Amino acid sequence: MHRLITSNRNKVILFLLVDVSVIVLSLFAALLLRFDFMIPPGFIGEFAYLIPIIIVTKLASYTLYRLYKGMFRFTSLWDVANILKANAIASVGIILGFGFFHGFAGFPRSLFLIDFVISTLGISLSRVSVRIYFSHFVSDAKQARYRGASDQKKTRLILIGAGRTGEKIAREILTTPHIGYQIVGFMDDDKRKKGATLHGVRVLGQISDAGSLPVEFDEFLITAPSATGAEMRSIVEKCKQAGKPYKTVPSLPEIINDNVSLKMIREVSYVDLLGRDEIQLDTKSITEFMKGKRILVTGAGGSIGSELVRQCFQFDPAGVILFDNSEYNLFQIQQEISNIEHKPFTNIVLGSVRDKATIENLLRDYKPHVILHAAAYKHVPLQESHPWEAVNTNVLGTKNLIDAAVAHEVEKFVLVSTDKAVHPVNVMGATKRLAEIMVQVANRMGKTSFMAVRFGNVLGSSGSVIPIFEKQIKTGGPVKITHPDMIRYFMSIPEAAQLILQASSMPQGRGKIYVLDMGKPVKIKDMAFDLIRLSGLEPEKDIPIVYTGTRPGEKLYEELAFDGEILSKTEHGKIMILKNGGATYEDWTHLSSDLDRLGSLSVSFDSGRIKQSLMEIIPEYKPTDSSILKSPKIKEDHPFTA
């Protein structure tokens, strides 16, 4: 029977025969029930000619609702709902046809209603029985084969969280016996669930009972993606007290389309302890904005750019063009997306936004409707010592894209900006502030709608402090912190990318700067201490702490808006808009002239002159060290210069 059901052609034939049998039996059962098991003599003979018509009508309706296309071993409520709809449509058609051609004189109408109920139950039972067969009998047989020595190798899990995610993970483990996991119990803080069973596995108690569970187990698996930061900290602490290792599934912003599986199990990270709220995306407006359009993502191999690519795939664009100057990063994202089924047209383009000819060729060939501009240099100390590179990429590269977007009448241009653009004290922040001004002024010269999205640090991005701390912890320390009072805004990469797309879809965005709600700022010192404790160690006891002082261009805290800017709420709770964050330039010609002058200075490699020019263009740029304005050219300061 197993082979018969798993063969696709045989499966359809088998279920056609089953359905015909159910249809005939349900009609006979309906007759028996209608006439109290005393069918009038001759009635069946008069009714017999209708049976082939009823069979054909119902099978046609079942085919219309694709009842023979599903994988019956995974029959769900969705499939049962389709069975209900198919039988309802067939019964209505039969009643209307019978009434029109035959009439109901002397014929019981209730017969069709009884038949509808019985046939729906019968067809549903035939599908559900297949799922029961595979999930219990076949699964049990497989488990028997893996029993014995293999059972000893299985990791015995306690799942923390008996909700939807816990149910999905449990179901996958139970139906995949060779996976290497065995569930021995659930834990959940909902007192009503204690003693209940989920897929035959008992809820043993609350999370506070972690250290006194009545079963032997090897590991905790936290299946509570909606847990807040405080809740995750408490859960982790209870797991540590129990002396058992623990892992988790991704947080809600990381889960795309609510799809979670065993492949996504990972170590608990700082993202989990940050505990961001679930993002409620208006997927309809994003789909309307992106559907059928060609999307160009610059910096597509970077942290934000690659996540924008992944998120774009969810909203049915006509194509996504990935543009980056890093061959390695492009190769990495290309390998990743090559495994995605049913993705839109994609193309990988290697090049730099600094090359005007490359940009012109790119837009001419692919004619994008939307540009998501994430390409930028972002490392503050490096850009502080190489300001010409920041100018050439963050400023002149953006100018190249703007000019090409206007010339090719791109619909929308979205600049990915940073909180370092507010009251900038470093070159990186100054160049990103100038890029914001550029996209605002650019709105006055063409059909393209330009906008910017400003937000703070993202966890796990290239250059992020977290992997640096983790490496220092792994080697036994010391963990180096620049200043004990330094604070930053943080959000996860998926959260940032989702909100960028949400802001991009807003119709009133032309010439505007959107600001993402970053939540509460986090002390870098607290972050380091949390990471040390996540490793099962104690800060300043097991791992020494060293304070190194702020680096060039750093300030103790970042801001999301200037003093005179007013943040106003939008229809999305996580996105705000600047009401009076206007640019200081009246027209693109004037700004373009200053940008060309800045560009000519960049080839001089003179840090002081470049920064002085940035101060003239951006009055709010206040470098932290005035001595930098007197710094020599790089060639005069080079150790190998004769």
Give catalytic status of residue 420 as yes or no: yes
- CA–CA separation, 529 and 527 (whole Å): 5
Catalytic option among 58, 412, 420, 432: 420
Is 240 buried (19+), middle (13-18) or exposed (0-12) by CB count in 10 A? Answer: middle
- CA–CA separation, 458 and 303 (whole Å): 9
- CA–CA separation, 417 and 239 (whole Å): 39
- CA–CA separation, 534 and 233 (whole Å): 9
Q: Which of 485, 495, 496, 477 is nearest to 523 (CA)?
A: 485
DSSP for 92-103, written as a single string? HHHHHHHHHHT-
Sign of the Cα pseudo-torsion (146, 152, 153, 156, in order): positive
Residues 6+ apart with CB under 8 A from 405: 363, 371, 413, 442, 446, 448, 450
Amino acid identity of 442? A
User: How many residues are there in the chain?
Assistant: 642
Q: Which of 620, 612, 621 is nearest to 594 (CA)?
A: 612
CA distances from 540 to 170, 182, 270, 396, 486 (A): 40, 38, 19, 46, 18
Sign of the Cα pseudo-torsion (347, 352, 354, 355, in order): negative
Q: What is the DSSP letter of 251?
A: P
Q: Which of 467, 446, 445, 477 is nearest to 585 (CA)?
A: 445
Residues designated as active site? 420
